[in-house]
Structure 1
């Protein structure tokens, strides 16, 4: 009983933590730690919610979640009452829905990228001015990467080449290559699939928005290594003024977020603030604790 109750408290606590973290601004000073904390919080919610349901289902065994599940095949459902069976069905259903929606998101994104790569093969060209980059002859401003397992494509439009100077263009390309190298698309997938599972909950959308912004900030930090931060900041302002369209499905664009987050990115580039060492250490230490605590409760006998 205690284990199931603790897992339920942990599930509710992760929802409260997501609410607080979605409004936090300290993560902007350490976006990679913020991303890791979001991933840990998402894992904590999934494991603790399913674990709480399984804990309620396995109460007649008195051996915790793992012990109860181990004894279930031998006894069948003989020990389980109506409430226990309902909790077990809810746990299985939630697990199946989360896994199916994640698989659906992966299939949809992979298909969209495959179609877009085929389109790029027809309409893009190489340009000596931007080696390793595909150029699309379109007057609008666009810069994005199409991640892939074997190779990633960085794409810019002719309008972008006309809009930016050489330093700004180099900063934008470094930003997009950071997305591809660090596989930020994989970070977004679970949160995007969760939004499809719970589209009616505004908190889920705010969580996805917060993670997207942190990913952009992490790529900004990578892009400014060895370069003046003003180059990328100016490029972001030019993109915002040009009002680029959204990046294609499955791609990550340099400036496809609303104006206020773009200004937040510009401000942190021009006036960077470091996170205090104690805060950074505490946040980094919280990541394995948040992710590991529900696992510990799942395997411990109660």
Structure 2
């Protein structure tokens, strides 16, 4: 029963992710959409692996988590585990392998990003400078236009001399507010699990689309934070100037002000004409559903049978 419920939950999450990539309300409430994407990703991983383990450990009748404990205790104490047929053995191996792969790719992606940021901070200490005109920002003496942030405990916002020359004062303030929002809201942690999932399932179109959609929503969320203190049209103009000037892409591990041209145009159109906001009751309902969905898989891991 638990295995069937987890398998159904995993299928619901997969279909939900596929539908969400085609939803038209997400741009109206990017923060809410990001919460829902996170809930779908976490629940899909736990439900998919849990369904396999639940079926494999069903002879113990104690659910996934306790069944794993009983199975491990039987092996450690050199006792024969409960009778198993070939399908349950294959399900156990597949479930444990899938769970290990998901954890390992997440850790590997985190370590690689951490190393890249550490190297880039060391490089910035050598080649970047302070500018009294933009306090708290590191300036690169590079003719290309770029602006990005390096998140972390020692976060830094970086702009190039080319960007300072290209943008007006109001446009620069809007871009810096956008980058500050990335740092403050730790959007890098939002993107990390989806990048890890893409590594684990590089062949999956749904995972690829989900990663791209979340990356765009993160940029839109930072745009929303920036336009609370700056002009939305100035930010849109800055994005267009970056696009026409051929902006230099942000280094690995950093979050840049610009991404692909299609994403930039979607953001510009939204900044110029944001459309009606998603009703508050709908936003609350989606967040509540996301919380319930996230809690459902761990609870099913604990339910016997």
The normalised TM-score by structure 1 is 0.95
**Partner residue, 1:24:** 23
Aligned pairs for 1:211-290 (under 5 A) are 211-256=214-259, 258-272=260-274, 273-290=276-293
- 1:125 corresponds to 2:124: no
Q: 1:94 aligns with which of 98, 101, 106?
A: 98
- C-alpha distance in 2, partners of 1:64/1:117? 47
Task: Report the alpha carbon displacement of residue 96 of structure 1 after superposing the two structures with TM.
Answer: 1.0
**Partner residue, 1:40:** 39
Task: Report the alpha carbon displacement of residue 281 of structure 1 after superposing the two structures with TM.
Answer: 2.2
**Partner residue, 2:159:** 156
Aligned pairs for 1:35-114 (under 5 A) are 35-72=34-71, 73-74=73-74, 76-114=80-118
Task: Report the alpha carbon displacement of residue 153 of structure 1 after superposing the two structures with TM.
Answer: 0.7
The normalised TM-score by structure 2 is 0.94
8 Å CA contact 1:138, 1:158 repeated in 2: yes
Task: Report the alpha carbon displacement of residue 263 of structure 1 after superposing the two structures with TM.
Answer: 1.7
Task: Report the alpha carbon displacement of residue 80 of structure 1 after superposing the two structures with TM.
Answer: 2.5
- C-alpha distance in 2, partners of 1:294/1:60? 20
**Partner residue, 1:14:** 13
User: Is there any run of 5+ residues in structure 1 with no aligned partner, and where?
Assistant: none
Question: Aligned residues, how many?
Answer: 299
Task: Report the alpha carbon displacement of residue 266 of structure 1 after superposing the two structures with TM.
Answer: 1.4
- C-alpha distance in 2, partners of 1:22/1:11? 17
- 1:116 corresponds to 2:120: yes
User: Is there any run of 5+ residues in structure 2 with no aligned partner, and where?
Assistant: none
The alignment partner of 1:134 has SS state of strand
**Partner residue, 1:187:** 190
- 1:200 corresponds to 2:192: no
- C-alpha distance in 2, partners of 1:196/1:71? 32
- C-alpha distance in 2, partners of 1:65/1:86? 16
Q: 1:299 aligns with which of 294, 299, 302?
A: 302
